[in-house]
Structure 1
Amino acid sequence: MTVNISSKQMLNMYESNHCALGGDSGGPLFHGTTALGLLSGGSDETTCNSSSTGDYHNFYTKVQNVLNERGLHVS
Structure 2
Amino acid sequence: MRLSLEVYRSTATFPDDERFGLTSQIRRAAVSVPSNIAEGDARNIPSEMIRFSGIALGSLAEIETQLYIARELNTST
Greater relative contact order (Cα < 8 A, sep 6+): 2
When Rg is computed on C-alpha atoms for both structures, the one with the higher figure is: 2
Looking at secondary structure, tell me which structure has more strand per residue: 1
Same fold (TM over 0.5): no
TM bracket (short chain): under 0.3
